[in-house]
Each structure stands twice: as C-alpha cells, then as structure tokens.
Structure 1
Amino acid sequence: MFFGEYRHNIDTKGRLIIPAKFRNQLKQHFMITRGLDGCLFGYTASQWEQVQTEVDQLPFNKSAARKFSRLFFSAATECELDKQGRVNLPEPLRAYASLTKQCVLTGVSSRFEIWDAARWQKYNEQAQTEFNDIAEDLLDF
C-alpha cells in the first residue's frame, strides 16, 4: 500500500528519486503511465496486471474505451531503479505531467502518483475545500 507525500526534484536527464518507502514495494520492475488530472500513475508489477485486466474489460466498441485504452497503454513504460533509487522518466511522460523541476510523489493506496509541485498544490488546495462534500457524496455511493 502506498501512502504519504514526498517532494523530490527531477534532474535535467529526467531522473527522479523514488521515496524509500515506495521502493520497498516496487521491487526490481514496475510500471509508470499517464494518469488522470495531469499526473503520472505508478504501479507495482502485480498491481499493473490487475489494472490491465480491468482496462481490457472495457467495451472496445465504445469510442471512449478505445481512446482511454490507447492513451493509457501507449504511454506505459516498464521502469527500474538505479543504484541511487531513481527512475528515468521518458520525455513524453515528463511533458504530459509538466514535470520540470520540483515534483511531488503521493501514495494513493494501490498506486503512487507523480505530480508537478505547482500543479499538485493547486489541485490539493481545491480538493481540500471540497473534502467534506466529496465524502458525503461518496458515502451515498
């Protein structure tokens, strides 16, 4: 399970330190792809298999399902950590999430997310103002 919030800088070569608490769960190989809301999603290998199964069950005759599947899988990259605990993020993923310098890595249960720090701050501030309303709406779900 991933949880917590960590701040690290991405270097000019696209390398980003993965927090030690995340590294312990990721093992040798893991996956990173486009996420929602302008961030990247990271998954352990076993969790990636579950996500892949779920996405594969979307109705391929629906345009939205095909678009989502194409965008989600076409950007996916298998990653491994270097000796310093860093991952090298490909340029298309860095561009998608607007990652240039300061990044925030957040744990979100079965995945982790990588955000541009300014984008995360803006998203987080807005979401916090709606937190109680969101909780009420989801309790009805």
Structure 2
Amino acid sequence: MTQLLGEFDCKLDAKGRLMVPAALKKQLPEAEQDGLVINRGFEKNLVIYPRKVWETIVADLNKLNPYEKKNREFIRSFTRGATELTLDAAGRVLLPKSLVEFAGISADVVLACQLDKIEVWDKQAYEDLFDDVPENFANLAEEVMGNKNRREDGE
C-alpha cells in the first residue's frame, strides 16, 4: 500500500509544468514507469494518484450500479478531467490547463501528501484552509476519531 508523506512548496513554470520534488519522487519509484493520474479534488484542488491507486479507485467505480442516476453523476463528476501524467527527463509533469483553471492554481502551489495520494493546491488557498485549525481540529479529531476503540494492547 502506498504511504506518501510530506508537504512541498513548488512553483509552476510558464508552461504549467511542475517539478516533482526529489523527496517526493523517492516515494514514487513506480511513477516513471507506471505514470500518475490527476483529476479534480472534492474542494478547489487537484489530486494526483499513483497509477495503481487510481486503478483501485476505478475498480470500485466499476462496481457501482450504472442504472442509478446518483452513481452516474458521481462517476461523471469524479472522473471529469482525469488525465494521465508522465514525468519528463527533468522530473517534471505538465498539469492540464483546464484542471489548473478549475482549482484556481497560480504559480505557487503546495503538494500535500494525503496517505496514498497527493493534493495539489494553490498556495494561498491551502494556507486559508488552516486559518482556524487549533480549535476546530480538536473538535474534528474528537468527532472523527474519538469513538474509535482503544488499541487492544492498552495504549
């Protein structure tokens, strides 16, 4: 299972290319051979998936009943703009212009690893997400994780 870690400040060049940071590239050894997939995030961001992770998601989407309207709408929205990315010889990927416009990404971006995927945010939008983190994060942690059973070993 892919476990990506880190947060990286990057810049897009004039052609919309993103240099994948060396520390992140090390965590994606299969990216050069298998490629990556980028699509729209649930917020105003983009998400980059290693190919194997994307294939797992597509397998899950294929299990949805296509005769149900909400399933078709979800699949259509989720896959809209999905594009294969390949690293060039310099370790850059070209972000599709339509996706960059959707996410409101300027030249300054943040790559935020989220378990098995990488969120791509406009730097200012990403910073704005965390303006009220201390109080809200504690409440969110309690709501999301508070009802989890304690580990069996007593910790």
State TM-score, norm by structure 1.
0.90
How many residues were matched structurally?
141
Q: Which has the higher helix share?
A: 1
Deviations 1:36-61 (A, max 9, x none): 11111111111111111122233434
- Which structure has more relative contact order (CA 8 Å, sep 6+)? It is 1
**Bigger-Rg structure (1/2):** 2
The alignment's C-alpha RMSD in Å is 1.7
Match of 2:137 in 1: 131
Answering whether residue 26 of structure 2 is matched by residue 20 of structure 1, we say no
Question: CA offset at residue 128 of structure 1?
Answer: 4.5
Deviations 1:57-94 (A, max 9, x none): 33434433322211222311111111221110111110
What is the aligned-residue identity percentage?
29
C-alpha separation in 2, matches of 1:23 and 1:112: 12
State TM-score, norm by structure 2.
0.82
Match of 2:53 in 1: 47
C-alpha separation in 1, matches of 2:64 and 2:135: 33
C-alpha separation in 2, matches of 1:23 and 1:42: 13
C-alpha separation in 2, matches of 1:123 and 1:62: 34
Answering whether residue 93 of structure 2 is matched by residue 93 of structure 1, we say no
C-alpha separation in 1, matches of 2:82 and 2:142: 34
Structure 2 unmatched ranges of 5 or more: 149-155
**What letter corresponds to residue 43 of structure 2 in structure 1?**
D
Question: CA offset at residue 124 of structure 1?
Answer: 2.3
SS in 1 for 2:130: helix
Answering whether residue 80 of structure 2 is matched by residue 74 of structure 1, we say yes
Q: 1:103 to 1:83 in 2, by over 3 A?
A: same
Alignment of 1:29-48 (within 5 A): 29-48=35-54
